[in-house]
Structure 1
Amino acid sequence: MKLTVREAMKFNQLSKLQLIAGRSGLDREIRSVGFLDYESLDELSGNFQKGDFILTSFYNMKDRHDLLIEYLMKFNEMEIAGIAVKKAVFKGFPDEIVEYCNKNGMPLFMCDQEVWFDSIIMEIVNYLKNDENNDYLASKIYSILNSDLSRELMEKISLEINPSFRDIVRVLYFGNLENPKHIMSTINNGPYRKLTTRALVFEKGVLIILSDKKDPAADKFLSKFNFILNGYFCGISESYNLYDINMAIREALYTYQLQDLTKDKQMAFEDIGIYKIIKPLEKNRWFRKFADSILEPILEYDREYDGNLMETAVSFVVNQGDFRKTSNELFHHINTIRYRISKIYEITRIEGARTGNYEQLAISIYYYISKNPVADILSEEVER
């Protein structure tokens, strides 16, 4: 159900606003909320859009009624939903301003200092959570990920998700969020939103697509929205052309799945090392056959003899094949570690391979780790 200015006036905080002019425009639709600070006239179209309910104090308009009229004309041209002005610079408006808003049906409100803009923002953002629209956008993401699309079609679908996307994109993914719909709505509809960014609920988390003419800066976005994203883990892709957005989405998802490998709250795909090739190949039939041919004999041996070979293999690979470090980590004599690694090579038949004994084991173990957190794998062995 769409939100009109008339309906929003029934909200607790918005009911405290005083309508000054533009009553005939109360059925304008509110699609998002924006905060006007010191943006120039030329910057309005890049920061605001149709359906914005704008909050401001008009600090830069003091004694500039002519400039105020120009701003109102520009906002009316952009078809904003309405404007709420805090009583700071203006305690009221000149007749010409009131007359303009009445003539054009542009709702103009004033509010007292004790009315918090943050509370108004929360009321609007909470209402604008839209399951139906999000499901539609999520279906576009699935199409991008699961179809072999041409560059032209990839761009077309991307622009259906957000017509304001620029040429270069970077994707972030947050999972296991307490209230993903609220976070999505805050990013898309809140006062700090950017028209070239789109967030949507995807796979029980929030997928965020940043775009720009050049490289979209993830750190700036994370800093701006730290108040709602702080404490959650984030997987970050590299930057790509819009027609390769599928690569960016996959990288963000792959990196998020490796969150147990780091104590940090964010990790970039470019920093995940060998998992850059492991994660994309996890569903490849040939790769799984190769890895399982090494992993299954180890797991079967442990099930039959309680040999703890898998824990040893994981520690050995994580420690870059260093017997001493593996011995120290697992609290076993180094000769015990040597025996177990030798047994692993024997039962997996790696020992008889012509090349890459350790490399074969390492690739298979990294695949295993990507499916099983290292801490969980090692905890049982360390406790023995």
Structure 2
Amino acid sequence: MVAMIRLKELLELPIFQNFRLVAGLTGLSREVRNVDILEYEWMSRNFDVFHPDDLVLTSLFFAKDDPSLIQKSFEKLAARAVTAIAVKTVFYTEMPEDVLAFCDAHDLPLFLFDGAFMEDIIVNFNDVLKLQQSHLQSEQQIHDLLALLAPARSPYAVEAAVREINPAFQSYVTAFYLIHRRYPGSPREVAAFLARTTYKQYSGQALDNVTYRKYQNGLLVLYTSRERELPSAPEVLCQRLLSRYDTRLEEFYCGSSETLPTFRALPTAIQQSIDACQMARETEASTSYGGLGIHRLLFPMSRDETLRAIAREAVGILKAYDEKYTSNLLDTCRAYTAHHGEISKTAAALYQHPNTIRYRLKKAESLLEPVIGKEDVYEQLYFLLRLYDLGR
């Protein structure tokens, strides 16, 4: 696992606040693995020191008396597939038009900046990269732990993996999984929270029995105690754990697990919290695993590849028909199950006549007969559509 950070995320760090993009806008999604300085390499012609995914900093000292050297050096850097170039405005406050055109043509982001020292930029980047590497390693630990959910798991393997995460864990665990409401597809806010846990002003807030980890795009909070009964309601407890680092629960979708034996069932607790969080995103309210009802059966089924294949087949049949005939069978089936099989409510929701809904459902039923048969059509539609949505 090699840590990298996207260029556009790197630019959000305070030390990059004076960076001004002047060319290569389309390259901002590139990743940065290293930050290096170009100053004397032009004299030695040694551009082999630069590598793909480098962010190259330079003052263009070597070109201060000859602007034609700027593009020549950039051509060599582009040939090395560097991610971006940032010029400190010591000798040049603007770039020649041919250089800007070259960077645009090669999707090579070009920045101008002032104020920041190049060495400080490198130190800041390396600190972020170390944190990213730490996140990757801890995320792999959680991934490996969840793999122990398999029926043939060894209880000794589970306990060893749990103690590797935190040897100070106590007897019972409640897991919380949180996804940021405003940025659900990005781990940025999670990374910011985890960074705060390392700040000196919060050093007295740490609890040995609690662990905070990034997992996928979410924050995993593992609370352990000697007693099975929680000191407060799960939502209240999670808010208290977050507030230690000046973070509000309202910023997140939150799912909580049951309280389970730590050294035997931590993988189960983690998966329960992830499932509950997925439901929290649908309902817009913090959700505990114990309140999932039938979804406690549906979530494990949604991870069964055989069942997922059946659900994909059914949805695929409806999608193919809709695309070919510009119809709305899939949307109608979704509305039908969402309104508990009531034709009148389905028709009202879709602004259609009830007979139109009946016709569409009959058509869907005939198309799906090879997959679901003729019996219990509503129940099977609900089941397959939910499996399809949960398994995406």
TM over 0.5: yes
1:276 equivalent in alignment to 2:296:
yes
Identity of aligned residues (%): 20
- Indicate conservation of the 8 Å contact 1:293/1:348, yes or no: no
- Which residue pairs with 2:258 in the alignment? 238
Judged with a 3 Å threshold, the aligned counterparts in structure 2 of structure 1 residues 257 and 332 are, in CA distance, closer, same or farther, namely same
Measured after TM superposition, the shift of residue 363 of structure 1 is: 0.5
2:287 match: secondary structure: strand
For the 8 Å contact 2:190–2:217, the answer to whether it is kept is yes
Relative to structure 1, is the Cα distance of residues 188 and 194 closer, same or farther in structure 2, using a 3 angstrom cutoff? farther
Aligned equivalent of 1:138: 139
Q: Out of 165, 186, 192, which is 1:182 matched to?
A: 192
Conserved 8 A contact 2:255-2:274: yes
Alpha-carbon displacement from aligned partner over 1:191-227 (angstroms, at most 9, x marks no partner): 4332211001221321111111213453233232244
Pair 1:173-2:174 in alignment: no
- In structure 2, the partner of 1:215 is 229
When residues 260 and 315 of structure 1 are mapped into structure 2, their CA distance, relative to the original with a 3 A threshold, is: farther
Does residue 253 of structure 1 match 2:274? yes
Native 8 Å contact 2:302 2:388 kept in 1: no
CA distance in 2, matches of 1:260, 1:310: 22
Cα distance, 1:131 vs structure 2: 4.3
Total equivalences in the alignment = 245
User: What whole-Å deviation, never above 9, does each CA across 1:46-92 have from its counterpart, x for those lacking one?
Assistant: xxxxxxxxxxxxxxxxxxxxxxxxxxxxxxxxxxxxxxxxxxxxxxx
**Mapped pair 1:344 → 2:364:** yes
Is the CA contact 1:315–1:329 (under 8 Å) kept in the aligned structure 2?
yes
Structure 1 unmatched runs, 5+ = 1-125, 373-384
* Shift in alpha-carbon separation, 1:351–1:158, aligned structure 2, 3 A: closer
Judged with a 3 Å threshold, the aligned counterparts in structure 2 of structure 1 residues 310 and 260 are, in CA distance, closer, same or farther, namely farther
Deviation at 1:371, TM superposition (A): 5.5
2:209 counterpart SS class: coil
User: Bigger shift: 197-206 or 131-140?
Assistant: 131-140
| CA offset digits 1:81-122 (Å, max 9, x no partner) | xxxxxxxxxxxxxxxxxxxxxxxxxxxxxxxxxxxxxxxxxx
1:203 maps to 216
**Residues 359 and 257 of structure 1, relative CA distance in 2, 3 Å threshold:** same
| Cα pair 2:314 2:384 within 8 Å, conserved | yes
How far did 1:152 drift? 2.0
CA distance in 2, matches of 1:274, 1:350: 26
- Give structure 1 regions of 4+ aligned residues with deviation exceeding 6 angstroms: none
Deviates more, 1:134-143 or 1:239-248: 134-143
Superposed CA offset, 1:272-318 (max 9, x none): 33332232223322202322332222111101111101111111111
Aligned-pair CA distance for 1:350: 6.7
Deviations for 1:17-70, whole angstroms, at most 9, x for unmatched residues? xxxxxxxxxxxxxxxxxxxxxxxxxxxxxxxxxxxxxxxxxxxxxxxxxxxxxx
Q: TM-score, normalised by structure 2?
A: 0.56
Distance in 2 separating the partners of 1:238 and 1:276:
12
Q: Which amino acid aligns with 1:344?
A: A
Counterpart residue number, 1:327: 347
Corresponding residue number in structure 2 for 1:228: 247
Aligned to 1:160: 164
Q: Distance in 2 between matches of 1:154 and 1:146?
A: 10
Q: Deviations over 1:210-248 (max 9, x none)?
A: 111213453233232244133211222222211111111
Residue 141 of structure 1: CA displacement? 1.1
Residue 252 of structure 2: SS of its match in structure 1? coil
For 2:288, give the aligned amino acid: A
Q: Considering only aligned residues, what root-mean-square deviation do their CA atoms show, in Å?
A: 2.7
Distance 1:132 1:290, change over 3 A: closer
Letter in 2 for 1:254: D
Structure 1 332/260 Cα, relative in aligned 2: closer, same or farther at 3 Å?
farther
Task: Please give the alpha-carbon distance, in whole angstroms, between the structure 2 residues aligned to 1:206 and 1:351.
Answer: 39
Q: Scaled by the length of structure 1, what TM-score is found?
A: 0.58
Q: Distance in 2 between matches of 1:235 and 1:250?
A: 10
The 1:275–1:133 alpha-carbon spacing in structure 2 relative to 1, beyond 3 Å, is: same
| Residues 188 and 194, structure 1, Cα contact 8 Å, conserved in 2 | no
Structure 2 counterpart of 1:166, which letter? Q
Equivalent position amino acid for 1:221 in 2? L
Range moving further from structure 2, 348-357 or 192-201: 348-357
**1:280/1:273 CA distance change after superposition, 3 Å:** same
Contact 1:188 1:198 in 2 (8 A): no
Q: 1:259 deviation in Å?
A: 4.2
Cα separation, 1, equivalents of 2:177 and 2:281: 15
